[in-house]
């Protein structure tokens, strides 16, 4: 591989201009500990600032991991939204659809898509509002429909949730939808693997699941979250990285980003992770894949 920098971004789907849930960490091939990146003079990142970073301020040859679901389930039913004649044919079409419907939503939020008259039928929302098509006959899981890559995550010991689920602390649906708006606005200027083929040079965005990094560092999926520098330091050491400066508490978003950046530095050079056995051309085009899922 030809990457020289490794960036992990813990993402957020919450409403608001700036997000406590966004953390950005970066490391290089020099063996030094990963370090948190700050959005200029502000303490908290906005989603727009992350987009600007990716488009204009990214170090050359950076592997960028975004902690979100880049797409929705497609393979189980042959469509993202079966029964809806406007259902997109591929992931890029889905990104464009979400961004268009949410065009008036500030801060790359996705409220309009969640509440859309047709789209909402496929989601589980707050207030006990479960769409009639959240569970499809013969498809999905009791937690909702799953992508093929999420089924692979489960076999690796993780506990993924459906991107159609928007309820609960473990849900990733909102961050995935806001992330799709960001991916659409990259506008092909930054490849997104595996929707785009892995280019021979330049920077690339991949989907990550920070729990996979924690498991690689010797932690169980149930103990993936770290809230102290000491615990984070032990996990970094397991990946061959020095500890980050500091002692005592650390927020779990920063810890996730720091550990996953260090993991990307090692995982990027594992050829098998770029060639998952179940990843077909059709799946790459529609559902995408989580880097590191077996």
Averaged pLDDT of the chain? 94
Span 15-71, pLDDT tens digits? 899 999 999 999 999 999 999 999 988 899 999 999 999 999 999 999 999 999 999
When pLDDT is averaged across residues 232-243 and rounded to a whole number, the result is 97
Contacts of 156 (CB under 8 A, 6+ apart): 212, 215, 293, 294
> Do residues 144 and 134 touch, judged by C-beta distance below 8 A?
yes
Query: Is residue 83, in this structure, part of any structural domain at all?
Result: no
Instruction: Identify the domain boundary among 184, 210, 225.
Output: 184
- pLDDT beyond 70 at 139: no
Strands (E), 127-198: 129-130
Q: Is the pTM of this model over 0.75?
A: yes
Does residue 289 sit within a domain?
A: no
Tell whether 257 and 209 lie within a shared domain.
yes
138 pLDDT above the threshold of 80? no
205 & 180 share domain? no
Q: How many domains does the chain have?
A: 2
Q: Which residues contact 84 (CB under 8 A, 6 or more apart)?
A: 118
- Structure token pair of residue 277: 């056995």
Residue 57 CA, distance from chain mean position: 20
The answer to whether residues 255 and 229 belong to one domain is: yes
Q: Is residue 279 part of a domain?
A: no
Q: Indicate the residue among 141, 157, 184 that finishes a domain.
A: 184
Q: Percent of the chain having pLDDT more than 70?
A: 98
Nearest-CA neighbor of 22 among 53, 47, 55? 47
Structural domain boundaries, residue 109: 91-184
- Judge if 96 and 230 occupy the same domain: no
């Amino acid at each position: 591989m030809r990457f020289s920098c490794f960036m992990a971004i813990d993402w957020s789907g919450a409403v608001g201009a700036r997000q406590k849930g966004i953390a950005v960490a970066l490391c290089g091939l020099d063996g030094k500990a990963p370090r948190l990146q700050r959005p200029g003079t502000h303490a908290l990142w906005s989603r727009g600032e992350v987009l600007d970073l990716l488009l204009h301020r990214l170090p050359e040859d950076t592997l960028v991991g975004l902690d979100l679901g880049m797409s929705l389930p497609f393979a189980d039913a042959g469509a993202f939204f079966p029964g809806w004649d406007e259902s997109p044919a591929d992931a890029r079409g889905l990104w464009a659809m979400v961004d268009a419907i949410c065009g008036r939503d500030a801060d790359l939020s996705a409220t309009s898509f969640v509440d859309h008259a047709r789209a909402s039928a496929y989601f589980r929302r707050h207030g006990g509002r479960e769409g009639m098509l959240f569970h499809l006959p013969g498809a999905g899981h009791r937690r909702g429909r799953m992508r093929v890559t999420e089924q692979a995550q489960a076999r690796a010991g993780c506990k993924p949730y459906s991107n159609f689920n928007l309820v609960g602390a473990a849900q990733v649906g909102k961050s995935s939808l806001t992330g799709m708006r960001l991916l659409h606005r990259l506008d092909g200027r930054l490849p997104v693997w595996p929707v785009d083929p892995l280019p021979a040079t330049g920077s690339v965005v991949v989907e990550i699941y920070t729990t996979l990094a924690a498991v690689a560092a010797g932690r169980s999926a149930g103990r993936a979250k770290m809230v102290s520098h000491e615990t984070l330091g032990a996990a970094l050491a397991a990946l061959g990285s020095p500890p980050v400066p500091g002692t005592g508490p650390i927020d779990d978003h920063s810890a996730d980003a720091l550990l996953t950046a260090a993991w990307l530095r090692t995982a990027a050079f594992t050829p098998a992770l770029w060639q998952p056995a179940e990843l077909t051309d059709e799946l790459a085009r529609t559902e995408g894949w989580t880097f590191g899922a077996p």
